[in-house]
Amino acid sequence: MVADEPLQAAGDERFPCRLRMTKQKDFARVHRENVFAADPTLVVRGSTNHRNYPRLGLSVSRKVGHAPLRNRWKRLIREAFRKIRRELPGGYDFVVRPRRGAEPSLPAIAASLPNLTRRIAVKWERKKK
């Protein structure tokens, strides 16, 4: 590696700021719309965002467990989103929270997230009609 080359992530595997929900008003809009899907691992709420890419918001409360467990959930959800974001429907904001009592595992989250986000997209399409 040449000393002048900047360090870069392999391919496009980063999680850029534009894919993150950070503003309270965005979270409030998603909760106000009340379109959600759930399974034994995750609960996902969604709303349209008028962009051509999905954004992720996390909501991991103390009810889930102590701080290291909450942080593990957040890391795994972000990693799953980062890995499968091209499979997710674009144009939506998703707020993801784990189910109380569920065990955090990357394979379970990575399997759950695309299914739940697709269900939300279908619900939004029905709602438009």
Show me where the domains of the chain are located.
19-128
CATH code linked to domain 19-128: 3.30.230.10
Tens-digit pLDDT string for the chain (129 aa)? 444 444 444 556 777 888 899 999 999 999 999 899 999 999 999 999 989 999 999 999 999 999 999 999 999 999 999 999 888 888 999 999 999 989 999 999 999 999 999 999 999 888 876
Paired strand residues for 95: 45, 57
Q: Are 104 and 69 in contact (CB under 8 A)?
A: yes
- pLDDT for residue 117: 94
Which pTM was predicted?
0.85
DSSP string, the chain: --TTSPP--STT----GGGB---HHHHHHHHHHTEEEE-SSEEEEEEE-SSSS-EEEE---GGG-SHHHHHHHHHHHHHHHHHHGGGSPSSEEEEEEEPTTPPP-HHHHHHHHHHHHHHHHHHHHHHH-
Predicted pLDDT of residue 11: 58
> What Rg, from alpha-carbon coordinates, does the chain have?
16
